[in-house]
A and B are shown apart, each in its own frame.
Chain A
Amino acid sequence: IPPSKIKDPPGESCCYEPVHIRVTGLPPFQVVTLKASLKDDKGDLFQSKAFYRANEAGEVDLEQAPALGGDYVGVHPMGLFWSLKPEKAFWRLLKHDVLNTPFWVTLDVYDSICSQYSAIIQPSASQVVQRWFSGPGVQRKQIREGRVRGALFLPPGEGPFLGVIDLFGAIGGLVEFRASLLAARGFAVLALAYFDYEDLPEELLEVDLEYFEEAANLLLAHPKIQRPGIGVISMCKGAEIALAMACYLKQAVAIVCINGFTAVMGVPLRYKDLVVTPIRPEMERVQVHASGALSYCHCYGDPRDKLNGQSVLPVEKAQSRLLFIVGEDDEFIRSKLYAEQAMDRLRSHGRSHGRVLVYPSAGHLIDPPYAPLCFASRVRGLPRPFLWGGDPAAHAAAQEHAWGEIQKFFRQHLIQNRSKFFCKL
């Protein structure tokens, strides 16, 4: 019997690229098990598996064959990747070293049904695939200029490149994986920290918009960055900050807000003399999920409530283009509610520079394509995990679609901006 083989192109790929997995040399019509596993930067194990039936030629082609059971069901060529689950409960898959090492994903085929209740057998075929968080020639530069703290990712070449600031949420610290991936797609990206990193304050007690203005000016001053405007990609609390940048600053001309607030939340926003009072979160409205994870989405108030009027961001003042990306099953923020409120406000002021993409059954953590759905995880060492929500297959589809839309949006509106600028001369 010829040994079964896993065929897929490049052993190395960028993790936003799909992988075509095909297995050959199996007994015809045999039900087999495909498994994927990886260890993260800290050595924690993530695994997934699915059961497939080989066809009459003894092949399983993941682009055509439906999974019968396991971590997902149906035809999902990248299912083994986005359904990876941690061995340690409530652990999120995050790459910290984004340039120097990939994730090594081991793909195993077992030519029978392999569950945790069956005897341990050896796989009949195995292959390791490298999934990189960056591309050839991308460079990383640690940024410590003025107050600005973060990391700048530059694509290879002379440029000029479209500049983007990348803001994550209340997780704090510096999250780099999205910035490095966008750099592999040709953008110059500043992953910007704003608290709990280096000499930045440990807790976020207020949002000082001048810090973000300094970061935007720093990016624009770089010789390889396209002027006069930059983009911002942002998530959660970062999206509230990005929207404030759109309303009060002029450097950011294309803003992507993923599952964020459209009002000042929790801590005040300051820009020079302006102080915007925040909505006070009602922590008594937290809801505990059956798993013990905490759903906060009812704690953050309603932006349409007149009592919150002074905190809602004046999006009609923004000169930039806005793209709201919403996971409808977001358990952390009622993102749809906030995005719709902002869109209504734009419309009522006769502004049409906003757009919203709503993804049914997608959760809070809309990451680049094929990132495993993290349904709940611990944040900043707090003992009770936060519930993020999402249905795995729908969330995966949302990530794939959103990634394309985000790049199109930046290319369309940052380049247009440049041509607008030239036209004015």
Chain B
Amino acid sequence: MVQLTATPVIALVDEPVHIRATGLTPFQIVTLHASLKDEKGNMFYSRAYYRANEVGEVDLERDSSLGGDYTGVHPMGLIWSLKPEKLLTRLLKTDVMNSPFQVQVKLHELDFLLNNKPISAPKASLTLERWYVAPGVTRIRVREGRLRGALFLPPGEGRFPGVIDLFGGIGGLLEFRAGLLASRGFVSLALAYCDYDDLPPQPEITDLEYFEEAANFLLRHPKVHGPGIGVVSTCKGAEIGLSMGIHLKQITATVLINGTPFVFEVPQVYRGQIYPPVPPSIQLVAINTLGLTEFYRMFEETQIIASQSFLPIEKAHGHFLFIVGEADKNVNSKRHAELATDRLRRNGKSNWTLLSYPGAGHLIEPPYSPLCPASGLRALSSSVHWGGEVIPHAAAQEHSWKEIQKFLRKHLISTVTSQL
């Protein structure tokens, strides 16, 4: 009898699942098909073809996929190679507390799936639950002073290191990473700064005092153990995160994912100090073979080093972790990290680590998140290419997530123990 098993069936999204099939005909080629429906009803699909061994088993931790959405040995491949039915749709969980993503995994005979729906009925199937929060994590809506966001608390007594989570120019409030960080033992503040609630849709300046307010708010919380807190930030959020690391003594660990060491779009202001934005060279914007827009060359010709937009990173007291996707097509992440680390070196500083991932794109998210190569509005011509190749991007997400947690624990918890 054909059986499909997965261990564990219910898990956090950053936990791997061991998928196995037994009871097949020896050397039979089978199709493993995964599907997911997001909160808006969009479908995502993936498939892989495996050959059973001499005793009729397929073990995704051991066996190589022959073809489909990935090839080779990738136990979590069915999840991170999920692709939207509707082009350019990004997989994003908005309600992270009350429901998981459900992934249906089905085993079929060799079924050449020209479209997304299999021709025959599955021989076996199961449903995985992928949660963004661990049992016992609590979420508190934040509306204090100017601050808007959501605070996630780990379960249990005692105090935990605190982290501010900042996403990029997408605006709004993305909570999924903060929920996961709380599940991993950090008090996490998912902080919105534009296009959310009563925050301006497109702020004309970045006011660093807003983020200082957030840092102080977090440190005041009874479950947060100071004296230092961390920042995990992406893209525009990383420009802000860098500035927080420089100007706010409370920030002792800053993770910068595919960001810029200079101010762009709108000026940054902190207590009267103004950092002007670097002017973009729009004529350097490229359109790729599929018609997607690539912005990564936009600051190529700009003299950044001598400019006032270049943030004085050497003034920071805390530590930095740079995460670079070398195939980022939205920002020239590799060059930007080099500008920052060169400046640190020139000033005799060594308070940084750089992790550079070949083949990884702009949207480096927690492990097993499907690669979103581009997103946009209706037409291809107005969509943005994020970049990245599916397999190396998945590996980068797995590796960087572990490193991010190690980094935060090292620089936030050690300050705690040194107080004892």
| Interface residues of A, Cβ cutoff 8 Å to B | 31, 47-49, 51, 53, 68-71, 73, 83, 85-87, 89, 113, 115-118, 282-288, 290-292, 298-299, 373, 375-376, 382-384, 390-392
Q: A69-B297, A290-B373 are in contact. Are A283 and B112 (CB under 8 A)?
A: yes
B115 touches A373 (CB 8 A): no
Central interface residue in A47, A290, A375, by most chain B CB within 10 Å: A290
Interchain CB contact under 8 A, B289 and A70: no
Whose C-beta in chain A lies nearest to the C-beta of B389? A290
Contacts A51-B283, A87-B379 given: A290-B67 contact, CB under 8 Å?
no
The CA-CA distance from A376 to B112 in the complex, in Å, is 19
- Asked whether, in the complex, the Cβ of B284 is within 8 Å of the Cβ of A68, the reply is yes
0 or 1 for each of B297-308: is its CB under 8 Å from A? (1 = yes)? 100000000000
Question: Can you list 16 A-B pairs, Cβ within 8 angstroms, ordered by A?
Answer: A51-B282, A53-B283, A69-B285, A115-B285, A116-B293, A116-B381, A284-B68, A285-B66, A288-B47, A288-B69, A288-B81, A290-B371, A298-B67, A375-B289, A391-B289, A392-B289
B121 contacts the other chain (Cβ, under 8 Å)?
no
**Which residues of A lie under 8 Å from residue B116 when comparing CB positions?**
383
Contacts of B29 in A (CB 8 A): 284
Interface of A is mostly: loop
Contact string, B59-78, partner A, CB cutoff 8 A, digits 1/0?
Answer: 00000001111110000000
Q: How far is the CA of A365 from the CA of B398 in the complex (A)?
A: 37
Contact A31 B283 (CB under 8 A): yes
Inter-subunit contact A69/B380 (CB<8 Å): no
As a 0/1 sequence over residues 352 to 390 of chain B, the CB contacts with chain A under 8 angstroms (1 = contact) are 000000000000000000010100000111100000111
In the bound complex, do residue B68 and residue A89 qualify as a contact, i.e. CB atoms below 8 Å apart?
no
Bound: A391/B114 CA distance, A: 26
Whole-angstrom CA separation of A68 from B287 in the bound complex:
12
Instruction: Decide: A284 and B285 in contact? CB cutoff 8 A.
Output: no
Q: Contacts A292-B83, A383-B116 given; indicate if A71 touches B388 (C-beta within 8 A).
A: no
B285 CB to closest chain A CB (Å) equals 5
Sample of 18 further A-B pairs with CB below 8 A, known A85-B381, A283-B67, A292-B84: A31-B283, A69-B282, A69-B286, A73-B286, A83-B287, A85-B290, A87-B379, A87-B380, A89-B290, A89-B380, A113-B283, A283-B110, A287-B67, A287-B68, A288-B47, A298-B67, A373-B289, A375-B290
Contact A87 B83 (CB under 8 A): no
Contact of A47 among B281, B373, B381 (CB under 8 A): B381
Chain A residues in 8 Å Cβ range of B83? 288, 292
Residues of A within 8 A of B284 (CB): 51, 68-69
**Other-chain contact of B291, A85, A118, A286, A391 (Cβ < 8 Å):** A85
Q: Provide the bound-state CA to CA distance between A285 and B69, in Å.
A: 10
A283 to B31, CA, bound (A): 11
Residues of B within 8 A of A282 (CB): 66-67
A57 to B80, CA, bound (A): 54
B64 to chain A, nearest CB (A): 12
A285-B293 Cα distance, complex, nearest whole Å: 31
Is B49 engaged at the interface, CB distance under 8 Å to the other chain?
Answer: yes
Q: What 10 A-B pairs come out closest when comparing CB atoms?
A: A284-B49, A51-B283, A285-B67, A85-B291, A283-B112, A383-B115, A375-B289, A69-B284, A290-B373, A288-B69
Give Cα A53 to B301, complex, Å.
14
Residues of A within 8 A of B381 (CB): 47, 85, 87, 116
Check B205 for interface membership: any CB of A closer than 8 A.
Answer: no
Q: Which of B69, B114, B116, B289 has the most CB of A within 10 A?
A: B289
Kindly name the residue among B87, B112, B115, B290 whose own CB sees the greatest number of chain A CB atoms within 10 A. B290
CB distance from A297 to the nearest CB of B (A): 11
- Report A-chain residues with C-beta under 8 Å of the C-beta of B373: 290-291
**A-side contacts of B389, CB under 8 Å:** 290
Give min CB distance, B4 to chain A, whole Å.
18
Question: Contact check: which of B112, B283, B289 meets A68 at CB < 8 Å?
Answer: B283
B162 to A: closest C-beta gap in Å: 36
Given contacts A68-B283, A113-B282, A288-B81, contact A382 B67 (CB under 8 A): no
- Asked if residues B388 and A284 are in contact (CB atoms below 8 Å), the reply is no
Docked CA distance A49–B285 (Å): 11
- Contact present for A116 and B290 (CB under 8 Å): no
> With A89-B380, A292-B87, A375-B289 as given contacts, are A69 and B283 in contact (CB-CB < 8 Å)?
yes
Residue contact A286 to B285, C-beta cutoff 8 Å? no
Closest chain A residue to B386, Cβ basis: A290
- What A residues does B47 contact at CB under 8 A? 288
The minimal Cβ–Cβ distance linking B114 to chain A, given in whole angstroms, is: 5
Instruction: State in angstroms the CA–CA spacing of A392 and B286 once bound together.
Output: 13
- Taking the closest CB of chain A, its distance from the CB of B234, in whole angstroms, is 20
Residue of A at shortest CB range from B65? A284
Give min CB distance, B86 to chain A, whole Å: 10
| Assembly CA distance A174 to B66 (angstroms) | 35
Bound: A291/B84 CA distance, A? 9
Q: Which B residue's beta carbon lies closest to that of A296?
A: B67
